[in-house]
Chain A
Amino acid sequence: MDRRRLLGPLNTIIPNIGISSNPNDIKPDTTIDNDEVSANQIQNFFLKTGIIENANGSAYLEVGNSIIEVSVFGPRPIRGSFVDRASFSVECKFLPYITQPGEQIYNTTNQFNNGNSNTNANGRTGLTTIEQRISAYVETALLPSIILEKYPKSTFDIFITIISTEEGVNNNDEDDDNSAPNEQLLRLTNWIVNCSSVALVDASVELKDIVTSGIVKTTSDGKVIFDPRSQGNEEEEQEEGSVIGVASFMNLRNDELVGIWIERQGAINVGDTEMNNILDGCNEMSKKIRANINTYLANSLE
């Protein structure tokens, strides 16, 4: 008998731990034949609400390899002087091990942060420049949709967690073309806005309308692209003059534009036609996403 160790009862059953199914075997097939994806199709996405118990509302979204989780807290009381409407804050964080899209460009050490990549010049400690940019865009886009007057003396806080991003974002050569990281950043922001709106609905926050968002890329020859996969292998060679833009709308409220973010490779000016193409394309995509969200929400109640 082994006297050196504390042994369990004699009739112990040892569970089969350590034996699990190979994750590679159960990985869903995400490889899509590029020929089948046309340029005006929208990437498939998976959406689920109410997964976080402690939050007032939450949403989870998977698109491609990106995974976004949003939790909404509020209305919570705020101390201090009387305010007749709710305040609203957004905070976006990447999980620590995630490569942030474009971090070589934006999160580098500079004179403002003295080598500490975890601070930025925006006064929000703990957020990187990229996180700050995403947070600011989401806040701008969602703020007009919330009926703040109905929540005096309270606050809403939205926490966005990026659990996974697209592979191949990590583009280590800074000299290389940098429109790809920009594109990834904007695509991520687009889906974050959509996911956050659904989380707000799940939290039963009173909204004027659900904000949805779209993203398009226009090439120099005037082509409008919705789905990044349709570019296929051409993605390697980013043409000079391609413009990528995210725009957010309240589609049932006269298509009100609530946010716009445009990035361009090369020349600085974005022409009128390009601008119109982007806004129209984003609006079209936003409407399609809105239709999907509507269906999901309606079904979730029945």
Chain B
Amino acid sequence: MILDQSDSGKVVIPGQYITPTYKLQTESNVIEKYISGKGTTITPIQIADQSKVVSVITASILGKVYVNEIQSTKPEEETDGKDKDDEEEEQQKVKTYLVVVIPKSSSYINFQKNHQQELKHLVDSNSISINLPTENDIVLVKVTKITLKQIYCEILTVENGDNVLKDGGIGVNGDLSHVSVTPSGGSASLSNYQTIASSQSTLTGAQFQDIGENFRGIIRSQDIRSTERDKVKVIESYKPGDIVRAMILSLGDGSNYYLTTARNDLGVIFAKSENGSGNLMYPLDWQNMIDVTNGIIEKRKCANPFT
């Protein structure tokens, strides 16, 4: 059941063994090190009739497995210097591979095939699941509300990943979607929607109103741009309805992720003029956008697509 490196593209099922974390090729005296990437987890497997336990990379989702060698070895030398010395004495070479499982329908597969150089990024983001954002992820958000101090938004999708929620924010995730079947008037409700998430593993008494519609984020005014932070005006940067490319600063508090756009390639990518009643606008420079139909110029903090 354990797959060889040549078996990339094979279907794996959650729990299925992919490869042990270390392999020794005796002929070539090469240690093969496998890193558990997205869609995999490391399971201690007990070998039958022995007390020995082997760490095995197993699939955690249904999908196809891809094993790719990580070419650059520089960061490794820095991180585990001691191990390196030992290895040098034994004149052994360590080859590092990344194991990822890609779910069936994912724009991810193509991305991953086309961007071999991005693989290291995937290693870094190992700890997150398929579609939840984590620190340093680039996300697309929709601005929902602005105040003098911060911008509230909903996270739509993680760049290089899938939509955060299945519906991608298109609107089937209102209050009612948290109830598996709509509580219909008069007849017996098929689901007891009041007790969602009130079980052994969670806060007691949580009700479905406590569950949000979407993962939300906050961009504080000092995180809008990297220069002249004290002079920034929220209203001249973002308006409700804008689609913004932002980076996750931290997981934030219980309700919101903290986001930043203090980089040239981050900021508004889609916006409509006149508070959304106008037409789609095009960026003129990093802080102006133009509606070509009626010539209105509005202020936005635009993302530079060419960096």
B144 interface residue, CB < 8 Å from A? Answer: no
The 0/1 profile, CB within 8 Å of B marked 1, for residues 144-162 of chain A is: 0001111111110101010
The 0/1 profile, CB within 8 Å of A marked 1, for residues 217-254 of chain B is: 00000000000000000000000000000000001111
Are the CB atoms of A79 and B199 closer together than 8 Å? Answer: no
> Shortest beta-carbon distance, A259 to chain B, in Å?
13
Are the CB atoms of A78 and B210 closer together than 8 Å? Answer: yes
B201 interface residue, CB < 8 Å from A? Answer: yes
Are the CB atoms of B210 and A89 closer together than 8 Å? Answer: no
The CA of A151 and the CA of B197, in the complex, are separated in Å by: 14
A105 interface residue, CB < 8 Å from B? Answer: no
Report B-chain residues with C-beta under 8 Å of the C-beta of A73. 177-178, 180
Report A-chain residues with C-beta under 8 Å of the C-beta of B201. 87-89, 139, 143, 148
> Shortest beta-carbon distance, A270 to chain B, in Å?
25
Give the interface size class of chain B: 35 or more
The CA of A217 and the CA of B43, in the complex, are separated in Å by: 32
The CA of A250 and the CA of B45, in the complex, are separated in Å by: 12
> Shortest beta-carbon distance, B20 to chain A, in Å?
14
Are the CB atoms of A208 and B177 closer together than 8 Å? Answer: no
Are the CB atoms of B254 and A76 closer together than 8 Å? Answer: no
Are the CB atoms of A252 and B210 closer together than 8 Å? Answer: no
Are the CB atoms of B203 and A204 closer together than 8 Å? Answer: no
- Asked whether A152 and B251 contact (CB < 8 A) given A89-B196, A126-B194, A297-B62, the answer is yes
Are the CB atoms of A76 and B11 closer together than 8 Å? Answer: no
Report B-chain residues with C-beta under 8 Å of the C-beta of A223. none
The CA of A71 and the CA of B180, in the complex, are separated in Å by: 8
Within 8 A of B (CB), among A148-191: 148-155, 157, 159, 161
A91 interface residue, CB < 8 Å from B? Answer: yes
- Asked whether A77 and B15 contact (CB < 8 A) given A89-B199, A124-B195, the answer is no
Are the CB atoms of A147 and B60 closer together than 8 Å? Answer: yes
The 0/1 profile, CB within 8 Å of B marked 1, for residues 51-77 of chain A is: 000111000000000000001010111
A209 interface residue, CB < 8 Å from B? Answer: yes
- Asked whether A301 and B165 contact (CB < 8 A) given A143-B201, A150-B129, the answer is no
The CA of A127 and the CA of B196, in the complex, are separated in Å by: 12
- Looking at A80, A93, A157, the one whose CB has the most chain B CB atoms below 10 A away is A157
> Shortest beta-carbon distance, A69 to chain B, in Å?
10
Are the CB atoms of B210 and A54 closer together than 8 Å? Answer: no
Are the CB atoms of A301 and B62 closer together than 8 Å? Answer: yes
Partner of B15 from A149, A205, A207 at Cβ < 8 Å: A207
Partner of B14 from A80, A126, A209 at Cβ < 8 Å: A209
The CA of A140 and the CA of B63, in the complex, are separated in Å by: 26
Report A-chain residues with C-beta under 8 Å of the C-beta of B206. 78, 80, 87
> Shortest beta-carbon distance, A83 to chain B, in Å?
7
Are the CB atoms of A154 and B63 closer together than 8 Å? Answer: no
Report B-chain residues with C-beta under 8 Å of the C-beta of A140. 200
Are the CB atoms of A89 and B202 closer together than 8 Å? Answer: yes
The CA of A210 and the CA of B12, in the complex, are separated in Å by: 12
Within 8 A of A (CB), among B245-277: 251-255
Give the residue name and chain of the B residue nearest to A156 (CB): B197
Give the residue name and chain of the A residue nearest to B176 (CB): A54
The CA of A196 and the CA of B103, in the complex, are separated in Å by: 19
- Asked whether A201 and B14 contact (CB < 8 A) given A159-B191, A206-B61, the answer is yes
Are the CB atoms of B211 and A54 closer together than 8 Å? Answer: no
A254 interface residue, CB < 8 Å from B? Answer: yes
- Asked whether A89 and B128 contact (CB < 8 A) given A207-B61, A209-B15, the answer is no
B13 interface residue, CB < 8 Å from A? Answer: yes
The 0/1 profile, CB within 8 Å of B marked 1, for residues 251-282 of chain A is: 11110000000000000000000000000000
Are the CB atoms of A298 and B13 closer together than 8 Å? Answer: yes
Are the CB atoms of A77 and B212 closer together than 8 Å? Answer: yes
- Asked whether A93 and B199 contact (CB < 8 A) given A54-B172, A73-B178, A301-B63, the answer is no
Report A-chain residues with C-beta under 8 Å of the C-beta of B92. none
The CA of A45 and the CA of B182, in the complex, are separated in Å by: 30
A81 interface residue, CB < 8 Å from B? Answer: yes
Partner of A77 from B103, B200, B216 at Cβ < 8 Å: B216
A positions within 8 Å CB-CB of B: 54-56, 71, 73, 75-83, 87-91, 93, 95-96, 124-127, 135, 139-140, 143, 147-155, 157, 159, 161, 201-202, 204-210, 250-254, 294, 297-298, 300-302
Pairs A-B, 10 closest by C-beta atoms: A87-B202, A209-B15, A126-B192, A150-B129, A252-B15, A89-B199, A206-B60, A159-B180, A77-B212, A207-B14
Q: Told that A78-B254, A88-B199, A89-B201 touch, could you supply 6 new A-B pairs with CB distance under 8 A?
A: A77-B215, A124-B198, A126-B194, A147-B41, A157-B180, A201-B13
A-B contact pairs, 21 of them (CB 8 A): A78-B197, A78-B202, A78-B212, A80-B206, A81-B203, A87-B201, A87-B203, A88-B199, A139-B200, A139-B201, A140-B200, A151-B129, A155-B196, A157-B197, A159-B180, A201-B14, A204-B130, A208-B60, A209-B14, A298-B13, A301-B104
